[in-house]
Structure 1
Amino acid sequence: MRIYAIGDIHGQLDRLKAAHELIERDRRQTGDTEARVVHVGDLVDRGPRSAGVIDYLMQGQADGRPWDVLRGNHDRMFLGFLDDPYYHDPMLRFGIEWLHPRVGGCTTLESYGVANAEDRPLDQIHREAVAAVPARHRAWLAALPIQLRTEQALFVHAGIRPGVDLDAQVEDDLLWIRQEFLEDRRDHGLLVVHGHTAIDEVTHYGNRLNLDTSAGYGGPVSAVVIEGREVALLSEAGRVPPAAG
């Protein structure tokens, strides 16, 4: 069973399109037009075209493309802000909010035409954001799943809580977990395909595969093809092995 996956996007529409082009090249070589493409979340923040990323993914699904899109922690924070300007994600460190420069919410709002969010009253920014973000974007984001399981892999944004049954995992962990998951080398039964923790290159650790190649910090949006437990990174030169961790 062949399946494609794409890592964190963070508002980088051109890089997302480049990743999809690599997938289309691989499709042409294999003749496989039906294999699904899983996006592991963090569609928004930091990069300049978050609204465009959402439009692109929504349109692809509407056109019948076999695209699955998962929710990331940044997507959850975006929705939380739209619901309540004083929303604080329980997994985010106290004193840092979605509009903090380290998080990147202001760039997401700017992509919707809400400028200078960091310099104006919060209630004013919230009113403008609610008016600017299309209701269809909010509804689509709110409906995104937080995991996808296939015969060979579990796709999530951040990872899983090691030692907890896959059916008992909670959203906070699936969207936010780091060290407890990253440092655990046990087999989880399925290959866990994730993003969330930025690294320099797609890396296969045996029990997990990290696709977050730092698009939020200037890196590429990476795409891979998974066939059973075999993984290849898609590049301009074709399929290449991922780094080993």
Structure 2
Amino acid sequence: MSRTAPTAALKGVVKASRTTSQNDSIYNEMLSAILEQRLAPGTKLSEDTLGEIFGVSRTVIRTVLQRLAHEKIVRIQPNRGAFVAEPSPEEAREVMQARRLIEEGMIRDAIRNQSPENIGELRRSVAAERLSLEKGDHEAWVRLSGDFHLMLAAVAGNKTLLAFLKELVSRTSLIIVQYQKGTLSPCSCDEHTEIIDAIVARNENHAIALMKAHLKACEDQLNLCESDEKADLYSIFAKPIKEAGKSRTAM
């Protein structure tokens, strides 16, 4: 018993590890598909179809969907299933406000904890971001732009903050996919570079001001006005109905 019990326990650990790895792999593939706009907001995510695609049970898919739902990337509706989230304009504004608040503290910690190695990683990230813009690869740009902020959070060294920011960045990417207006410009890359330069110079106030201005500029590039008001069916159809009534009377 003393020999078989540890063996059974070890097998359980290995099985759990494989399951976790499988779930993480499916999660990452689905998250990338959503953030790279291959799965548009509002798309229904069928458990049966996804299970067939990934060669796993519905239980595994359901676990992944619940994880994405916890991060507000997917919405699960009772008796209807799971759908790629469609953030409202109000949600978009709240997410951007939250980012402005927490990334100020992130900048302060990044200035204290920076090293030549992670500054080099940040600059390479911006270079990759700029290349995606030059190629017109919108999906890659959305992902890389978010990655820059997550890398900066990693430099700050606060794991709790990094986990929270990861959710906000993922939601921001989804918001950009849904509400981005106009064409992309290299301005965001220039702003990222300026933030890095201010961090290297340990100019805290300037770096914070740059980050706040950058996030505000990102929000200004979103079309958050047109969807604020719901369509009024009465006002849309009132005139035709009235005219139709007159025509029937005339007849």
Band the TM-score falls in, shorter-chain normalisation: under 0.3
The normalised TM-score by structure 1 is 0.25
Of the two structures, which has the highest relative contact order with CA contacts closer than 8 Å and spacing of 6 or more?
1
Higher helix share: 2
Larger Rg: 2
The normalised TM-score by structure 2 is 0.24
